[in-house]
């Protein structure tokens, strides 16, 4: 993974997660995130009653988009689209807890709430852009 991308992901804590609701309407939410590099995955803690979880209750995955880096000061962004699913495997959840609560310690207070769930986002495409360089730096997969 490119060091500039890792720097952005380690620096930021908030992203925008966008999904399509079951009726086809778009829904976007500002979300704290955590991530792992191998395989490249993002994790979001939410409730099972949230709008973003509606399309996932049947157990399948849905398409989603994520943006990290929305600062007018930094001018560095990572845009992605891919698939989103609910993580239910206990072993996987333990691994996610070890990553997510380090980056977002305030979220740990909801860990044992029966409505708390974790979403996993797997990017299928991404583009990193640094608008502060001339010409701008673009890295795309």
With 0-12 / 13-18 / 19 or more C-beta atoms within 10 angstroms meaning exposed / middle / buried, residue 13 is: middle
pLDDT of residue 132: 95
pLDDT band at 58 (very low <50, low <70, confident <90, very high): confident
Q: Residue range 25-52: average pLDDT?
A: 97
Domain count, the chain: 1
pLDDT band at 99 (very low <50, low <70, confident <90, very high): very high
CATH, residue 19: 2.30.110.10
Structure confidence by residue, pLDDT tens digits, 104-121: 999 999 999 999 999 999
pTM over 0.75: yes
pLDDT band at 137 (very low <50, low <70, confident <90, very high): very high
Measure the CA–CA gap between 102 and 10, rounded to whole angstroms. Answer: 11
């Amino acid at each position: 993974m490119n060091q500039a991308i890792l720097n952005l992901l380690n620096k930021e804590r908030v992203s925008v997660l966008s999904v399509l609701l079951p009726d086809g309407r778009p829904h976007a939410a500002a979300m704290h995130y955590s991530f792992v590099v191998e395989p490249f995955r993002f994790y979001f803690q939410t409730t099972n009653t949230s709008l973003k979880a509606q399309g996932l209750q049947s157990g399948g995955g849905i398409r989603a988009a994520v943006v990290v880096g929305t600062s007018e000061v930094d001018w560095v962004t990572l845009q992605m689209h891919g698939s989103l699913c609910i993580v239910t495997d206990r072993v996987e959840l333990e691994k996610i807890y070890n990553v997510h609560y380090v980056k977002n310690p305030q979220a740990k207070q909801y860990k044992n709430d029966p409505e708390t769930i974790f979403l996993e986002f797997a990017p299928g495409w991404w583009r990193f852009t640094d608008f502060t360089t001339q010409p701008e730096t673009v890295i795309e997969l």
